[in-house]
Structure 1
Amino acid sequence: MDQAQIEVQVLGSLSQISAADWDSCACPETADGGRPLDPFTTHRFLLALEESGSVGRGTGWQPQYLTAYLDGLLIAAAPLYAKSHSQGEYIFDHSWAHAYESAGGRYYPKLQIAVPFTPATGRRFLVRPGYEAIGMSALVQGAVQLAADNRVSSLHATFCTEAEALAGAEMGLLTRSSQQFHWLNDTYSDFDGFLAALSSRKRKNIRKERAQACDFGGEIRTLTGSDIQPEHWDTFWQFYQDTGARKWGSPYLTRQFFDIAHETMADDMALVLAERDGYAVAGALNFIGRETLYGRYWGCTEHHPCLHFELCYYRAIDFAIAHGLARVEAGAQGEHKLARGYLPVRTHSLHWIGDPGFADAVSKYLDAEGRAVGEEIEILTDYGPFRKSNPEEQQ
């Protein structure tokens, strides 16, 4: 194929492209009627962010979606945003911004290929099957050209797949490693099967935590699809506001996002609620992918021992086992997840820096950081809760 035949366009709104066209690149696997690998790059999720005002004017996330056409056929797309800050990204570059501006540069605005407020690994360069190499090349070249033409400091693609990171490195982009904690399903038949794989001490501790959590005086339910009612979002909004205020100062998502998601994404969500006397006192929201359950938001109006662990981690494991999912991604950070069966894994991002001198400095930093991340993953994995070869651990 002739690269010159490809036309790259920038869209200011996802309403300018049909869901069928966008999803032909974002989630072609749904052609068999099944779920997308992850729901976060689907037309419905990204449009919900837009229509709810969670991204757009005044948010620091201005949509600049990239699309690539070959002879009129959409072959690739990317969720690209012009950023005026580094909030809501979870692979942070605040120190880069500080260093760049201390040297007299202007770091913002920058360009970000990402799913806003969503630290979940997935494809960021959305390519129609059969056009993988040429599609990603067109998107990378188009994004870099857009950054250069507008004289922005940098371009970033965060939480991309390992395959995308390798391909991006071959195209001259800088690669960065980070880590998260994921639970992996070793074909467990039930939660007890998972517990049997742990050391005796960790197994007892988890059972104790689950018992404490369930002793809050009510019941815990996991709702999906039509079982989720509009009024549930009024309650969950209180939880989300409380967590957002404590973590970020103000919530990233608007109240309207949950109403739109209820209409367009109810089957993509699993809402876990702890209820007492007909009222929810805590909740956790997960999104459901083809192979993965993604834990996203948690909050409460009452604090009870271990209820957070139960709703966010253990109920997620229950759901994944029951539905044959391969893993649970429980969001960013949190070494406390290790003792609960979530092991460290490497995550990836790609970066382009316009200034050659600064790019060289960042490259050296990333090399050192990558080695440190690898060493930390190795150490933390060794401290994991799973049984070792010591026969005493199997009692």
Structure 2
Amino acid sequence: MSLQYALLNDTSWQSQTDWQTPDTPFMSFAFWQALADTGAIGEQAGWLPIFVLVHRVADSQSDSSIDHADNTENHSENHSAINEAAINEAAHPVAVLPVFLKGHHRGEFVFDHSWAEAYARYGVDYYPRLVTSVPYTPITGQRLWLAKGETLTTDIIKTAIAGVDDIAQQVGASSWHGLFITPELAKIATASMSTDIDIAHLLAAQDNGLESTAIDMPILERQGCQFLWQNKDLLNDSQPFADFDAFLMTLKAKKRKTIRAERRKVAEQGISCQRKCGAAITEDDWKAFYHCYVMTYAIRGQQPYLTIEFFKALAATMPEHLMLAQALDSSGEIIASSLFLYDKPNSTNATLYGRYWGALGEYDSLHFELCYYQGLEFAIEQGLTYFDPGTQGEHKLVRGFIPTTTHSIHRIYDPRFVPAIANFCAQDREHMAQYRQQAFEALPFNADNMPAFDTNQ
């Protein structure tokens, strides 16, 4: 049996086999369907999806049963030959990698603007570019859907990337970017592709009118830093925290005092907070939430990426993953909202994800209360293992969120730019390693509850 790929511009592959439950709610079919149905992804949004379907075929079938896309640049057409290949009875779906054709960087959170500027200075097009990510969502997780019974292997990754290279060649993409991927995927991808390339040879070949093949290009890795809270009481044999006060007792006295003072300030403004989950979130709650959410963008003169219909779609199709924290003024009016998604509490490494926030005005310490402390209380109550509050923000660090490595991988198809970008990535990794070390040393835990620094974390 061998692995082959097909390129699809629809989700017909979802019905071809049974798929594993994804590691986060953001890779659930329901989440992606909500994005598509509400226009958050698609041609108009500048997130044009293409799906690389990896499937296993008998060796006798491998030469004749699989067709690749020959008209990828026009995804509005029905690629019937591709779809027929994908559902060939001799082909067994193994994995699917989503790829977006993009002409911008919006909603990604791993920034390569300087690369685009370098291309522009040399008069070379950086667009279109290819991106594999969960749109608008800087959450680490799997980026392939795997069929039940399959595990992520080097062969699957290499086959999927061959599909990416095929797309890049057809549309003239400058690069491919896999964002917020798991450490496992980063390790397999970088190890499975060339890392030591003869740039001089490639440039000479190009000067002589010979095209270099994509397989000659390396997979480059970048690393970033986010902050992740762990529900682990080292003072009590690494058991989950019994309550919020138990968590506070692991912090230095000054930090405990600061957090308690922030929570008092919220109450002293006549503000109370409440949490609702799933079906308990009403139509009026969603309207109030969206009003707050829009305000977050309005103060920056921007339009939100997501519509109220998107959030209502989540409420209809995956309510078991939703928690809404609300702040109410003294008259009972909702003045701020924060929406979280979370894994099933009994799942492995169950995590709470802080995602969408907004307030109708400026209130002292309310952001900390609604986005962090309400989330911490909920994670402790539900027995969740982690709390991922979202990207950026050293203010998370001093509230007990531990610096954690994020990974992205990048494939540059023009050999003239590979050395400089590879050097940038190497220096960036070194800088981020130093930053994580410094951030770790600034953690607010007392000596008895200070976690060990993990250089690989």
Give me the TM-score of the superposition, normalised by structure 1: 0.91
Say whether 1:309 aligns with 2:295: no
Structure 1: how far apart are the matches of 2:398 and 2:192?
Answer: 39
**Structure 2: gaps of 5 or more residues:** 57-89, 194-218, 233-239, 450-457
CA deviation vs aligned residue, 1:252-297 (integer Å, no higher than 9, x gap): 1122211211211221111101123332100101111241111001
Q: 1:212 to 1:20 in 2, by over 3 A?
A: farther
Q: Secondary structure at the match of 1:121?
A: coil
Which residue of structure 1 aligns with residue 126 of structure 2? 107
Which residue of structure 1 aligns with residue 231 of structure 2? 185
Q: Secondary structure at the match of 2:375?
A: helix
Give the counterpart of 1:210 among 263, 268, 273.
Answer: 263
Q: Secondary structure at the match of 1:68?
A: strand
Q: Secondary structure at the match of 2:223?
A: strand
Q: Secondary structure at the match of 1:8?
A: strand
Structure 1: how far apart are the matches of 2:51 and 2:341?
Answer: 23
Q: Which letter does structure 2 place at the counterpart of 1:287? A: L
Task: Tell whether the 8 Å contact from 1:9 to 1:68 is kept in structure 2 after alignment.
Answer: no
Structure 2: how far apart are the matches of 1:275 and 1:58?
Answer: 37
Structure 2: how far apart are the matches of 1:263 and 1:127?
Answer: 25
Moved more, 270-279 or 41-50: 270-279
Task: Tell whether the 8 Å contact from 2:128 to 2:172 is kept in structure 1 after alignment.
Answer: no
CA deviation vs aligned residue, 1:336-368 (integer Å, no higher than 9, x gap): 111111121110001100001212211110000
Structure 2: how far apart are the matches of 1:111 and 1:49?
Answer: 18
Q: How does 1:14-163 map to 2 (within 5 A)?
A: 14=11, 16-18=12-14, 21=17, 24-25=18-19, 28=20, 30=21, 36-70=22-56, 71-128=90-147, 129-133=149-153, 134-163=155-184
Which residue of structure 2 aligns with residue 281 of structure 1? 335
Task: Tell whether the 8 Å contact from 2:5 to 2:52 is kept in structure 1 after alignment.
Answer: no
Which residue of structure 1 aligns with residue 452 of structure 2? none
Q: Which letter does structure 1 place at the counterpart of 2:418? A: A
Identity of aligned residues (%): 35
Quote how far apart the aligned CAs of 1:67 are. Answer: 1.9
Task: Tell whether the 8 Å contact from 1:148 to 1:354 is kept in structure 2 after alignment.
Answer: no
Q: Which letter does structure 2 place at the counterpart of 1:37? A: D
Quote how far apart the aligned CAs of 1:389 are. Answer: 6.1
Q: Secondary structure at the match of 2:27?
A: coil
Structure 2: how far apart are the matches of 1:67 and 1:174?
Answer: 23
Structure 2: how far apart are the matches of 1:46 and 1:214?
Answer: 38
Q: 1:345 to 1:57 in 2, by over 3 A?
A: same
Structure 1: how far apart are the matches of 2:2 and 2:300?
Answer: 48
Say whether 1:385 aligns with 2:371: no
Moved more, 219-228 or 113-122: 219-228
Task: Tell whether the 8 Å contact from 1:287 to 1:293 is kept in structure 2 after alignment.
Answer: yes
Structure 2: how far apart are the matches of 1:114 and 1:139?
Answer: 14
How large is the Cα RMSD of the aligned pairs? Answer: 1.8
Q: Which letter does structure 2 place at the counterpart of 1:212? A: K
Q: 1:246 to 1:117 in 2, by over 3 A?
A: farther
Between Structure 1 and Structure 2, the one with more helix by share is 1
Q: Secondary structure at the match of 2:396?
A: helix
Moved more, 91-100 or 213-222: 213-222
Structure 1: how far apart are the matches of 2:300 and 2:37?
Answer: 24
Which residue of structure 2 aligns with residue 262 of structure 1? 315
Q: Which letter does structure 2 place at the counterpart of 1:305? A: D
Q: Secondary structure at the match of 1:352?
A: strand
**Structure 1: gaps of 5 or more residues:** 31-35, 391-395
Task: Tell whether the 8 Å contact from 2:6 to 2:52 is kept in structure 1 after alignment.
Answer: yes
Quote how far apart the aligned CAs of 1:214 are. Answer: 2.8
